[in-house]
Amino acid sequence: MAERWIFHLDLDAFFASVEELLNPELAGLCVIVGGRPETRGVVAAASYAVRKFGVHSAMPMARAIRLCPHAVIVPPRHKVYSQYSRKVMDLLHEYTPLIEQISIDEAFMDVTGCQMHWGDPLEMAAGIQQRIKDELHLSASIGIAGNKLVAKIASDYRKPYGLTLVPQGGEMAFLARLPVERLWGVGKVTAGALRAHGIRTIGDLTLLSKTQLEEQFGKHGKSLWYRSRGLDDRPVEPYEEVKSVSHEETFGSDVSDARILHAELLRLSERVGARLRKLNWLARTVSIKLRYGDFTTLTRQVTLDEPTNIDAEIYARASELWDSTWIRGRPVRLLGVGTQNLVRGSRQLMLFDLDPEDSQREKLRQLDGVVDTIRARYGSRSLQRASVMQARKDAIETGNMPAYLSDAHKSAPDVKNDVEEDGDPS
């Protein structure tokens, strides 16, 4: 049986690299892609030049500018990045059909058995890396290993333009010297708990028994035991389904005006509905996310009697959740609407022989379809509800501007497992 070989490819500082490619004057400069600091923007990507100052993705832009005052801020252009991402993925599909794209700039490849066509794994990976550089003028790092866990860690080992192969059977030795934070599933809280017990490297973690880890961390402890030894049997899954669709916005300053907040709920519900229809999904669950000015964050959800992708129905449920959750008058920093428990297919009804409720739903569905068509052709702001337009006017006058009113707002790219946009820095 052929040895299993998995690649993890990660495009280096992808958004910043695309911006430098399109504007050569940015090459070598401290480039930050993201929203403006005055609108609570966050860093979507940072060039390697600016990373030397401690700037990294997901950092509040205000802090990034304090660290590197001479940095050049570039507003994100996700449609452009998606175009380049597709070009990269198309190139990867020339080598194997087993491609699992996990974000706009990352993908796993199962190249088991492909050696007869492309050479040994190291030769194959080097060829892919060179082609991306020559044909697309982008830099990529590739990790090579017998499983997804180790391949992903290896791709980050020698960035940028890194190429790291972990030999079969050498997984524990490779991981042992790395900081424990490099292991999947070890965040700040877990790392702090491990370091409190003298566990600083992944190798240190292997000194604990499975029982000890389970006593300390429950089921997560069992997972840590396997991961610290480089054990991972997950397959590369090319067609993983979407699990949720959500959109959220961070306000330029905290908002306590109920009318503005309800208009924002409506606008976010429309975005979620449009995305569901584009992906041909119906949602069984609607949720909201609320973050107050002191960073207290609440989420609430409700399960529907019938799955839907109709804007009005999503908004109605989101509005009910909002009214029962928000403390009226308390300033809000972030607001989000989401849908979960998705099912495939759009429900088709005929406009005859229906009860009044079904007839009304069908009319709403058709109206949403017309709106989708107009907005797709003329832009998302070409057709807006009067309440949203008035709230926009009020927000501008009061300075309570949602991020979408700024030309430089950050809008996170779609991902396969959680389609979400417009994140918050915290």
Helix (H, G, I), strand (E, B) or coil at 137: coil
Scanning 218-257, the segments in alpha helix (DSSP H) are 219-228
Sequence-distant (≥ 6) Cβ neighbours of residue 8 within 8 angstroms: 106, 107, 108, 109, 142, 143, 145, 148, 151, 152, 154, 155
Buried b (16+ CB within 10 A) or exposed e, 253-265: ebbbbeebbbbbb
Structure token digits, residue 37: 């600091």
CA angle (212, 191, 156) in 5-degree steps:
115
CB atoms within 10 A of CB 407: 9
Phi, then psi, of 346 in degrees rounded to 5:
-100, 135
Residue 395 has, within 13 A of its CA and on its CB side, a CA count of 27
Single out the catalytic residue among 20, 106, 171, 249: 106
d(CA 126, CA 394): 55
d(CA 107, CA 57): 19
CB atoms within 10 A of CB 141: 22
CA quadruple 271, 422, 324, 283: dihedral, nearest 10: 40
Question: Which element (helix H / strand E) includes 288?
Answer: strand 281-292
- DSSP annotation of 179: B
Active site residue 106: yes
Which positions are catalytic?
106
